[in-house]
Structures are given as structure tokens and as C-alpha cells.
Amino acid sequence: MTHDLVAALRPLLTAEAAAEAQASGAEPADLEQTVWLRLLERVDSSGPPYDPEDWLRRAVRAEARRSRRRTRTERPYDGEPADDRGPGPEQIALTAARHRALREAVRRLPGRCPRLIEALLSPKDLTYREIAGELGISQGSLGPERSRCLGCLRRLLTPEVAAREVRG
């Protein structure tokens, strides 16, 4: 079964990976290899996907997005990896407190804003189409809804977040 699935999906995966690799800054072969790994993990855990072609296209796009994010965040070492220029325990604790304050403020938002903001902050990196389907609203109304929710969030956080430094 798995061998037939691999043989059937190989041409589609090669084409999809070649198309997405250019924009993501990844090698097509790397994208292919990662998607094959995801497929094997999926087959081992819950069986083959219901619609393998659709699953494969979504998996290639998701891996390309991950590759773009990694490319943006990864930086070469300026010195030894053991350099202690990173955040210390105090900075880590302050960052964790800010994240907690943000999550608490999101929970206090009105209406469907908490679900929308949680979906936008999700590590799954959901598309607007997926978020709209999850919330049961049209994809076109997500932008205005997001703006309204972020405005509410900004107003909630203003008294809690002190200015870091004097501006101007």
C-alpha cells in the first residue's frame, strides 16, 4: 500500500517541491525529503491521508513556509556557540511574563476575537482559508475582523505595557 502511494505521488511531489522551493529558499530535494518523512509519520500514526494529492500539496506548502521562517530567523554564529550574549535568566523571565500577559489579554477579548487571535498565533501557521473555516466566517471578513480584534487587544494591553525607553 505505502509503496503504491509513494509511486503514485512521486511526480506530483517533485513538481510541487520544485515550484515551492524557489520562493522558500530551500532546495527542492530537501522539501521532497521532508514531505516524504511527514507522509511516513502520518501513515505510521493514523494511516494514509483520505485525499493524498491534496494532503501532499498542503504538506509541501507547509514545509516551504517553515523553511522561509527558518531562513528569516537563523543567523550565522558571530563567535563561539558558547558565547553568553544571549538573554540571561532575568530576560527570559520578563519575556515569559510578557507572553503570559498577552495570552491573558487575548482571553479577555470580546466575541470571537480570542479564537481568531489564538488561530493567528497558532504554531500550526494556519492560512486565512483554514482560519475562516475553523471560525465559520468568510475569508474576506478576516482582515477587518483581525484589525478590530487587534485594536481591542492594543487597548487592553496599553495600561499593562510600560514604555521601554523614551522616544523622540
pLDDT digits (tens, 9 = 90+) for 156-168: 887 655 555 555 5
Delimiting residues of CATH 1.10.10 domain(s) in the chain = 89-157
- The string of pLDDT tens digits covering residues 91-120 is 889 899 888 888 888 899 998 899 998 888
Which of 153, 149, 158, 55 minimizes the C-alpha distance to 104? 153
Q: How far apart are CA 35 and CA 59, in angstroms?
A: 6
Q: How far apart are CA 17 and CA 30, in angstroms?
A: 9
Extract the C-alpha cell encoding 9: 505521488
40 has pLDDT over 60: yes
Q: What angle do CA 110, 117, 98 make, to 5 degrees?
A: 95
Whole-number pLDDT of residue 24: 76
Largest CA distance in the chain: 66
- The string of pLDDT tens digits covering residues 51-106 is 888 988 998 889 888 888 887 777 766 666 565 677 888 888 989 988 888 888 88
Are 48 and 42 contacting, i.e. CB atoms less than 8 angstroms apart?
Answer: yes
CATH number of 89-157: 1.10.10
